[in-house]
Amino acid sequence: MKAQFVFLMLWMTSVSIASPAAAQSCGIAVKAEVEVSADVVTLADLLAPGTCPALLREAARMQLGRAPLAGSDRVLDAGTLRALLLKAAAAAGIGFGGKAELPILERTTLRRSAALPRTASHARAQPQAQAIPASALTVRPGELVRLLWDQNGIRSIVPATCLDRGATGDEVRARIQPGGRVVKATVVSADLVQVVL
């Protein structure tokens, strides 16, 4: 019985020593500032050269969203980065024990590269160039409308304020009343607009 206990203790010690050694053989370095050159940001964009290839492969599969707008920054805190790195490491079969083994800065800043043009989804709604006769207008700025949001089989109708004027079928901006978020919507009728996805 005593021999089994000693064997178990030696085995547990070897496992706890082997994991940090395996983790240290897979180096990780996170950049403090990142210039994003693609429209979609992945975790691999945040990792510096010299990071373990297995971890880089998994990090390249983890999308963090769209690139920030030109002139604006996106900041990721240490807790978020740590969780993402641990998830990528687990998928790559790399074990990391504690916080000390992950050299993560307090925050990482993402910026859009000057070479990356703005996409149509990032472009702001431009005022309508052609004049619409007043009789053809269905909605006007400041009017309260119902905003229909239909996505993935879930339908929601919330009150919103129309910010642009438009006729049926036109794309306008609408501000959702409870939260103040501005969305693009298509005019359906005099008091109904539908979110453009």
From the list 197, 196, 194, 185, the residue with the least C-alpha distance to 156 is: 194
**What is the pLDDT at residue 186?**
92
Domain range list for the chain: 22-112, 136-195
pLDDT digits (tens, 9 = 90+) for 54-73: 888 888 888 888 888 777 78
- Can you tell me the distance from the alpha carbon of 67 to that of 110, in angstroms, rounded to the nearest whole number? 8
**What is the pLDDT at residue 94?**
80
How wide is the angle at C-alpha 54 spanned by C-alphas 52 and 55, nearest 5°? 65
May I ask the CATH architecture of the domain 136-195? Roll (2.30)
Under 8 Å between Cβ of 109 and 65: no
> Highest mean pLDDT: which of 16-20, 86-90, 165-169, 172-176?
172-176
Per-residue pLDDT band for 160 (boundaries 50, 70, 90) equals very high
**What is the pLDDT at residue 21?**
39
